[in-house]
Copies of this chain bind each other. A is one copy, B any other.
Amino acid sequence: MSTPIRLGIVGATGQVGTEMRRIVADRQLPISEVRLFASARSAGEQLECCGQTVTVEDVATADYRGLDIVLFAAGATTSRHYAPLFAAEGAIVVDNSSAWRMDPEVPLVVSEVNPSALDHIAKGIVGNPNCTTMAVMPVLRPLHDEAGLVAVVASTYQAVSGAGRAGVDELWNETRFAAERDAPALTFDGGAIEFEAPSVFPRTVLFNVIPEAGVFVDDERLETVEEHKFRDESRKILDIPSLRVSTTCVRVPVFTGHSLALTMQFANPLSVERATELLRHAPGVELKAVPTPHDAAGTDPSYVGRIRPSDVFENGLSLFVVNDNLRKGAALNAVQIAEELIRRR
């Protein structure tokens, strides 16, 4: 029986922070004390967490002492500044932002995939992967262990909630706006509706798909941050530095659930039957013939289907994965890392 821990959540009022509070309670983490942090704007609010009513503290002025594990659901800038302050006072920070993920001294962990990376937490900080990466790691791990993953081509279908609550609001506002218009203008030309200028996404996302998720990383506008994250984080989590990855990240008008079409090359032959058998028993994975975001939303597993051979590669295989980007893709995995840390105390 583990000793109850003192838990902190930074960014507790946001979309992912709200999920974290819900999941910590659902999974009955052994908690003796919970403290919630947010920006000055939300400080003073009363929030429920684990059956307690907690007053939100301003993270800028809070006392960082006296916590065992702190879950960060804030942006990278906040995390870069405050995570070391909590860690310096003895807490282990599990950070959902991109701030620390590629730091060689920071383990980047998917709970079912590489928990042993938690053996070395040099800086007191653990990284939680990007939601797109997260969706496929529990799927790629057993296939890689069996046949040796060499290359991945990934096309994503990413939900608007990956861009935060503002992304959700933008799609919802566009939906109501469109529904008030006449159908005929739409039938042949989705562009015929003059939407107000979008603010969260570079284009109207309703009835559209946008092959630009996150900003471009260079002046040539060749790849986006999201595409780089998927490649770099996959290599780190699976520990395949030479993994060849080609990703196209596309925003789609879906509220919750990131999907990916994957075509993979393996070093050794891997049949559809064997891959299916491996995935049937893989933790965090559920088989479904034709998985969609509506199946995944509100649930934990990565749903996998459309498993079939691909002849573009020697030892090639294709499949389709969907995962709730707010649960496993963010809040759930952070809580699962906390559980693993508790087991190891």
Contacts and interface: CB of A to CB of B under 8 A. Distances in A.
**Complex A-B, nearest 8 residue pairs according to Cβ-Cβ distance, in ascending order:** A179-B179, A155-B155, A248-B261, A191-B294, A246-B310, A155-B261, A190-B255, A189-B298
A290 B255 contact: no
Interface string A186-212: 111111100000000011100111111
A316 to B, nearest CB: 7
A312 B189 CA distance: 36
A257 B207 CA distance: 10
Given A172-B186, A246-B316, A209 B254 contact: yes
Given A191-B294, A250-B320, 13 more contacts: A19-B188, A153-B263, A172-B183, A172-B186, A175-B178, A189-B297, A189-B298, A207-B253, A209-B252, A210-B292, A211-B290, A245-B312, A250-B259
A150 to B, nearest CB: 9
Contacts of A305: 211
A311 interface: yes
12 contacts: A157-B252, A188-B297, A188-B326, A189-B297, A190-B255, A203-B294, A209-B293, A211-B261, A245-B311, A245-B312, A250-B261, A252-B252
Nearest to A168: B187
B294 A257 contact: no
B244 A311 contact: yes
B208 A312 contact: no
A292 B209 contact: yes
A292 B252 CA distance: 11
Interface in A200-241: 202-204, 207-212, 221-223
Contacts of A320: 211, 248, 250
Size bracket of the A interface: 35 or more
A260 to B, nearest CB: 9
Interface string A253-270: 111110101010100000
Interface of A: 19, 151-153, 155, 157, 159, 161, 165, 168, 171-172, 175-176, 178-180, 183, 186-192, 202-204, 207-212, 221-223, 244-246, 248, 250, 252-257, 259, 261, 263, 265, 272, 289-295, 297-298, 305-306, 308-312, 316, 318, 320, 326
B189 A221 contact: no
Given A175-B178, A223-B308, A246 B318 contact: yes
A298 to B, nearest CB: 4
B298 A192 contact: yes
Contact of A256 (B168, B175, B190, B253): B190
B261 A292 contact: no
A246 B186 contact: no
Q: Which of A153, A175, A272 has the most CB of B within 10 A?
A: A153
A190 B246 contact: no
A255 B312 CA distance: 31
A246 B26 CA distance: 41
Contacts of A210: 290, 292
Given A157-B157, A253-B207, A292-B209, A311 B246 contact: yes
